[in-house]
Structure 1
Amino acid sequence: MARNRYYQGPPSDHFDGTRFFNPGQPPTDRGLRDLIRWRLAGETARWPRSVPVTKARPAARVAGLRVTMVGHATLLIQAAGINILTDPIWSPRASPFRFAGPQRVTEPGIAFDDLPPIDVVLLSHCHYDHCDVATLRRLQAAHAPLMAMPLGNDTIVRAAVPGARCVTGDWWDRLTLGEGIATTLTPAYHWANRWPSDVRMALWSGHHLATPAGTIWFVGDTGYGDGTIFGEVRARLGAPDLALIPIGAYAPRWFMAAQHVDPAEAVRICATVEARRALGIHWGTFQLTDEPREEPAAALAEAVAAQGWAADRFVAAVPGSVYEASARP
């Protein structure tokens, strides 16, 4: 049996002693034959080389709850005076290589040098479009934030970012991040790796943030599966004031459904957890899959209308745009 290089712990209902898995859900592993079948289908849409972005210049601190979209799954959450980044990536490629891999189509919605003081970084998993060690090194040098992540990811981060302050947890663990602020790691139907040899050796999760200004659920990457985990999030943690839900990188469905939701499924998640408001993330920055760049935003708007919701309850977040939220009365 292969040895897990990132995490050594007892088996559980989602860890077999070597690899993590999604209990009771369709497998996410895809072999070379599946990859060749996908690529030979030739159905990948052509994306623009670049899309203009109007960059934001955030305030140093915010008393309430404000979210600025940077791009992909990177957002600046400003809540009750605390500044938090999710899955930060400022690199031009989502890749282990500088010369190959998916390139940015949109510039970051905040210039790195315009970031306010960053107190906390939340990581959902170790895929290169979510755990970019070049960006983490820059953040460590400039801000030395606390970094919170699921099991095993700390081994990856500490090896690449000397001096990084890491806190880790399993699904449903609550991690204290500062005065009056904490994250609960929520299950997701996904997978993780850095190389072909370490598939599912580090855990994946979302983050359910509790702050004095309100609650924010950063879903992380997930498929819909049987939907059980989303009902559990609502039952255990309550309805979030704001949910950050992925809407892109879903085509073709035969390949991607077990690991990435589509916009209609994202709306189902939002309805299940009864989020007061939601932002669609994980779309339009890196071309990872087949769908046209603008399709997720259009499909989300259609799904929201079909639900009978106000159009602004769940919108596709645009890099550089700022979204104000508030806690429930």
Structure 2
Amino acid sequence: MKRRSFLKFTAFAALLGIGASGTAMAVARNSNRYHSGPVSDHFDGTRFFNPDGADPRGFSDLLRWKFGGTPAKWPASVKSPFAPARPEPRVEGDRLRVTMVGHATMLIQTAGLNILTDPVWSERASPVAFAGPKRVTAPGIAFEDLPDIDIVLLSHNHYDHLDLVTLARLRMAHDPLVVTPLGNDTIIRAHVPTMRVMTGDWGDAIKSGPVTVHFEPCHHWSARGINDRSMALWAAFVLETPGGKILHIGDTGFDKGRPYKNARERHGKFRAAILPVGAYEPRWFMKDQHQSPEEAIDGFLMSGADYALGHHWGTFQLTDEGREAPEELLYEKLAEKGVAKDRFRPLHVGEAWDFPDLA
């Protein structure tokens, strides 16, 4: 393997957090560098896990995929007709507006608060600046055009969701409160020591002004390198707002629908569900950790939400499907299931959705 190809592959392995050897995993198993806490039904004292769930694939499977797969070719760059967006300073009361920045980064505006999800303004979703998945669309909101940011929801520590460079910029420009699952605070504070961070376990809740953020289980995993797999927790969020409840999931496998059934049992009706619809091919490798568009629809229906927004597609090529495939497959499956297409929209970069007023 040529040196540059090897570096790209290594960056991709680190992005996925797949260890290069059993030895590295064995050494790491003895201690957790991010979190110390009691054993629970999803923490064994060293690593977090999905109860009765599937473990992420190993290095041999990564090799099989990367050297035996046939990824679709993405364009080098795409200009969105919706970008750049220039959001309002605040959206008050029970109005709800979501603007797509790109991938899993969205601006949620409601109840006078501005909330960013998994903010990434960097050119690559990678541990290094010279290799790894590169952005094909510019951010839907220029960083300088952001309104005052109050809260950052950080779902887990994969590089396409936790971008330390962007967090440092947000700290300097906005000083938001970062709300994130257990262990991710250690990663953030090591690089942005003055960042305000609050963590929670599944089932916990944090109140900020008129909004309460609940930490909910989803089926995923975490890693920043080759020997820290699942040492920080991942989570979905439920936002309890004056304008209704919002289910937000940054990344999840479908897991027999448990993330959706559990959320509905705990929280009842949702005004909106914000769900990942991309990074799902090949299914043999991705199915346990990344849901497909069809599974996202099934989850939306299980959750009982009025509307759903699809994200995690069209910005970084992480997997084998084509850039437009998630949108096309989502609309195809919505028609097959008899769900109106205006109830589940895969937002384009820079596109904003003003959700219908409450009945």
1:62 aligns with 2:91: yes
227-236 vs 202-211, which deviates more?
227-236
Deviation at 1:254, TM superposition (A): 0.7
Letter in 1 for 2:181: P
- Alpha-carbon RMSD across the aligned residues, in angstroms, is 1.0
Q: Matched residue of 2:331: which SS?
A: helix
Q: Matched residue of 2:341: which SS?
A: coil
Deviations 1:56-91 (A, max 9, x none): 000101112111000000000000110000000000
1:281 aligns with 2:308: no
Q: Matched residue of 1:272: which SS?
A: helix
Q: Verify the 8 A CA contact 1:280 1:314 in the aligned structure 2.
A: yes
1:269 aligns with 2:317: no
Q: Distance in 2 between matches of 1:40 and 1:101?
A: 16
Q: Give the total of aligned pairs.
A: 327
Q: Percent identity?
A: 54
1:17 aligns with 2:48: no
1:290 to 301, 320, 326: 320
Deviation at 1:106, TM superposition (A): 0.8
54-63 vs 137-146, which deviates more?
54-63
Tell me the residue number matched to 2:30: 2
TM-score, normalization by structure 2: 0.89
Tell me the residue number matched to 2:177: 146
Deviation at 1:46, TM superposition (A): 0.4
Q: Distance in 2 between matches of 1:32 and 1:171?
A: 29
What does 1:251-270 align with in structure 2 at a 5 Å threshold?
A: 251-270=281-300
Q: Verify the 8 A CA contact 1:25 1:226 in the aligned structure 2.
A: no
Q: Verify the 8 A CA contact 2:154 2:162 in the aligned structure 1.
A: yes
2:58 to 3, 25, 31: 31
What does 1:1-329 align with in structure 2 at a 5 Å threshold?
A: 1-28=29-56, 30-53=57-80, 54-63=83-92, 64-177=95-208, 179-326=209-356, 328-329=358-359
Deviations 1:113-145 (A, max 9, x none): 000000000000000000000000000000000
Q: Distance in 2 between matches of 1:325 and 1:152?
A: 34
Deviation at 1:112, TM superposition (A): 0.3
Q: Matched residue of 1:312: which SS?
A: helix
TM-score, normalization by structure 1: 0.97
Q: Verify the 8 A CA contact 1:67 1:78 in the aligned structure 2.
A: yes
Q: Matched residue of 1:230: which SS?
A: helix
Q: Distance in 2 between matches of 1:52 and 1:238?
A: 39
Q: Verify the 8 A CA contact 2:111 2:210 in the aligned structure 1.
A: no
Deviations 1:165-205 (A, max 9, x none): 1111011211112x221110111100001011100000001
Q: Verify the 8 A CA contact 1:216 1:243 in the aligned structure 2.
A: yes
Give the 4+ runs in structure 1 shifted more than 6 A: none
Question: Unpaired runs of 5+ in structure 2?
Answer: 1-28
Higher helix share: 2
Q: Matched residue of 2:335: which SS?
A: helix
Q: Distance in 1 between matches of 2:165 and 2:318?
A: 20
Q: Verify the 8 A CA contact 1:214 1:327 in the aligned structure 2.
A: no
Q: Distance in 1 between matches of 2:271 and 2:191?
A: 34
Question: Unpaired runs of 5+ in structure 1?
Answer: none
Deviation at 1:213, TM superposition (A): 2.4
Q: Distance in 2 between matches of 1:108 and 1:214?
A: 28
